[in-house]
Amino acid sequence: MTTYTAPLKEMRFVLHDVFGAADKLTALPGFADATADLMDAVLDECAKLCEGVLFPINQSADQEGCIFKDGKVTTPKGLKEAYKQYAEGGWCGLTADPEYGGQGLPETVDYLVSEMVGSANLSIGLYPGLTQGTILALAALGTPEQKSYYLPKLIGGEWQGTMCLTESHAGSDLGLLRTNAVPNGDGSYSITGTKIFISAGEHDMTDNHVHLVLARLPDAPEGSRGISMFLVPKFLPNADGSLGKRNAAACGSIEHKMGMKASVTCVMNFDGATGWLVGQPHKGLAGMFVMMNKERLFVGSQGISVAETAYQSAVAYAKDRLQGRAADGVARPDKPADPIIVHPDIRNRLLFSRAIIEAERALAVWAHLQVDISHKHADAAVRQHAEDMAGLMTPIVKACGTGYGSEISNACLQVFGGHGYIREHGMEQLVRDVRITEIYEGTNTIQALDLVGRKLGIEGGRLFKGWLKEVDGTLARVGSRNDMAEFISPLKDAVERLKAVTQWMVDESKNDPNARAAAANDYLRMFGLTAFAWTWVLMIEAATAKKDDSEFTATKLAVGRYYMQRVLPQISGLDAVVRSGSKPLMALAEGAF
Ligand SMILES: Cc1cc2nc3c(=O)[nH]c(=O)nc-3n(C[C@H](O)[C@H](O)[C@H](O)COP(=O)(O)OP(=O)(O)OC[C@H]3O[C@@H](n4cnc5c(N)ncnc54)[C@H](O)[C@@H]3O)c2cc1C
């Protein structure tokens, strides 16, 4: 069986000791209540919900899956009740505006909540994850009427939000989409088209659905500059605000998937459905990005979530499973064999998982802190820098969180041997569930292209230089500490290597149009591993300052050392791969494949 206990101690360490989040957050307008005590209380409550309600139905809900019949979706047993508890606990609107019933808490806390929910039950977590994105988009771009009517119900979790972008011929390239919107003459539009792969498009857990649909107006320019965003409710509102007649927006079928089987994925047919414009005409893709930026960080958290459950489950199994003897002497003479945790390979898998998860969690918390600062800080220059940092780190958190989420789940399945492959232990579910996170919300390749093609290019590398200043700030504080030299020196080397390869890529792309795309995925990994070296240095700094828990500090030092010695060196291989350029990829003629 898989096992999950919310890693509250680790989370608090990152939040309070590494980043001093409460001081930073309570200094921001609107976050005076986000004290360390309040954040701790929120995390405690969330842990109870995750361990006691969401995790126990994770496996049964996967095995039962969602059922589609007569246009309706029935979710697996227990999901509706669990979702109700989640919604009634106010979790859907944790970061939403209190004016509409939200809790007004920082995104930083929401990240840790999302991580726990995803660890406990990835499928159930996706439903409110989409609603939160819808809330954000409407709060930013909706009319006052749209906000006052829809936001309270979404925030309360009574209504489900969805994002309807993908069409059968338009996935990564949304400029190809064909769904159209014709003005009805009364301020509403008639939306026609078919969307595929729509998460939570239809189900039995909420009274209404609020679909955000991308479509083209009659005068729309070609491509991605001609896309507008529309709000299309499942039930049209009556004049008195009650739910009126059924809109022409319906689920045609559901997908049969590899994993996340308790999260329904729908084909949605819009047959002249009534909708209303959200934001400006033809600016829908930019509007959707308000939602997608949040969702990309959220999906990154999903990868970290599953990795944490896989790691905890593998540790429990490795301490219990007896096979072979330790090479350096019998560890358990009272038993017929030693627990497999004595074997270096098993330790390697567990340590790799732990070293990456802890670094990722720290990077994700830092990125969310930047999101909060970018929203609230009084100084425009500070807001801009924070926005830059969040923007730079979003593709890295998404692609590394999910890519390593898959790798770690697989590595932890291997710890179970054949028993990992068998359904009853639950490890194969984790591997199946996490796989989609590398694909949706923009595939990890699209994230890498965003990093090398867009983020690095902004104003001659302003974002990258901004992050280097953050690292310089860390080094100015701890760079001369001899007791940290074994962590500082590899970080410095990695940053120099990253700077050099970034410059190489910029130069190479002046002559080779394929250079950036050829480098993108390996470069993103290299950046991620370097950023993790930085978060490890921050964690070592905080752990060595902690004088009350020597065991915790010693563990952090050991895992940090493992990271620097056994994981970070991968960047030299990635460096060489990036520098091989596009020729090895483009040399083979299409017909030769
Ligand atoms: C379970 C599930 C849930 C989903 N939920 C939603 C949802 O709620 N709402 C929604 O709108 N969509 C949703 N999606 C759709 C998802 O976002 C898309 O599947 C994803 O964006 C990729 O699009 P595609 O599948 O059409 O692949 P394609 O775009 O056809 O890509 C195929 C391959 O080509 C690569 N590729 C594409 N373009 C480039 C390029 N320029 N350079 C290099 N490589 C490239 C991709 O990385 C990928 O490996 C969901 C999908 C699934 C499977």
Q: For residue range 406-439, list pLDDT tens digits in order.
A: 999 999 999 999 999 999 999 999 999 999 999 9
Q: What tokens does 297 get?
A: 């960080």
pLDDT at residue 571, rounded to an integer: 98
Q: For residue range 232-278, list pLDDT tens digits in order.
A: 999 999 999 999 999 999 999 999 999 999 999 999 999 999 999 99
Ligand 1 atom with minimal separation from the 170 CA:
26
Q: For residue range 29-53, list pLDDT tens digits in order.
A: 999 999 999 999 999 999 999 999 9
Residue 510 lies in a domain: yes
Residue 328 lies in a domain: no
Structural domain count of the chain: 1
Cα-Cα-Cα-Cα torsion 328, 334, 340, 343, nearest 10 degrees, comes to 0
Residue 269 lies in a domain: no
Q: How far is the CA of 168 from the centre of ligand 1 (A)?
A: 10
Of all residues in the chain, the percent with pLDDT exceeding 70 is 100
Band (pLDDT 50/70/90 cuts) for residue 289 is: confident
Ligand 1 atom with minimal separation from the 162 CA:
8
Does the CB atom of residue 166 touch ligand 1 within 6 A?
A: yes
> Is residue 290 over pLDDT 90?
no
Mean pLDDT of 492-515: 96
Q: Could you tell me which residues are beta bridge partners of residue 275?
A: 189
Q: Rg (Cα) of the chain, in Å, rounded?
A: 24
Q: How far is the CA of 69 from the centre of ligand 1 (A)?
A: 27
Would you name the residues annotated as active-site residues? 441
Q: For residue range 137-196, list pLDDT tens digits in order.
A: 999 999 999 999 999 999 999 999 999 999 999 999 999 999 999 999 999 999 999 999
Q: Decide: helix, strand or coil at residue 282.
A: coil
Residue 521 lies in a domain: yes
Pocket-testing residue among 164, 266, 288, 443, ligand 1, by greatest number of atoms within 8 A of Cβ: 443
Band (pLDDT 50/70/90 cuts) for residue 293 is: confident
Mean pLDDT of 386-395: 97
Pairing of strands 72-74, 208-215: unpaired
Pocket-testing residue among 130, 131, 166, ligand 1, by greatest number of atoms within 8 A of Cβ: 166
Ligand 1 atom with minimal separation from the 263 CA:
1
Ligand 1 atom 20: the closest Cα is on which residue? 440
> Is residue 1 over pLDDT 90?
no
Q: How far is the CA of 461 from the centre of ligand 1 (A)?
A: 28
Residue 485 lies in a domain: yes
Q: Could you tell me which residues are beta bridge partners of residue 232?
A: 211
Q: Decide: helix, strand or coil at residue 69.
A: strand
Residue 66 lies in a domain: no
Does the CB atom of residue 448 touch ligand 1 within 6 A?
A: no
Does the CB atom of residue 168 touch ligand 1 within 6 A?
A: no
pLDDT at residue 294, rounded to an integer: 87
Q: How far is the CA of 198 from the centre of ligand 1 (A)?
A: 12
Q: How far is the CA of 465 from the centre of ligand 1 (A)?
A: 31
Does the CB atom of residue 165 touch ligand 1 within 6 A?
A: yes
Q: Decide: helix, strand or coil at residue 77.
A: coil
Does the CB atom of residue 197 touch ligand 1 within 6 A?
A: yes
> Is residue 291 over pLDDT 90?
no
Band (pLDDT 50/70/90 cuts) for residue 384 is: very high
Burial class of residue 168, CB neighbours in 10 A (0-12, 13-18, 19+): exposed
Q: How far is the CA of 519 from the centre of ligand 1 (A)?
A: 20
> Is residue 204 over pLDDT 90?
yes
Residue 509 lies in a domain: yes
pLDDT at residue 292, rounded to an integer: 83
> Is residue 303 over pLDDT 90?
yes
Q: Which residues make Cβ contacts (< 8 Å) with residue 478, sequence separation at least 6? A: 484, 488, 537, 541
> Is residue 288 over pLDDT 90?
no
Question: Domain of 516?
Answer: 456-584
Band (pLDDT 50/70/90 cuts) for residue 286 is: confident
Residue 295 lies in a domain: no
Does the CB atom of residue 172 touch ligand 1 within 6 A?
A: yes
Does the CB atom of residue 265 touch ligand 1 within 6 A?
A: yes
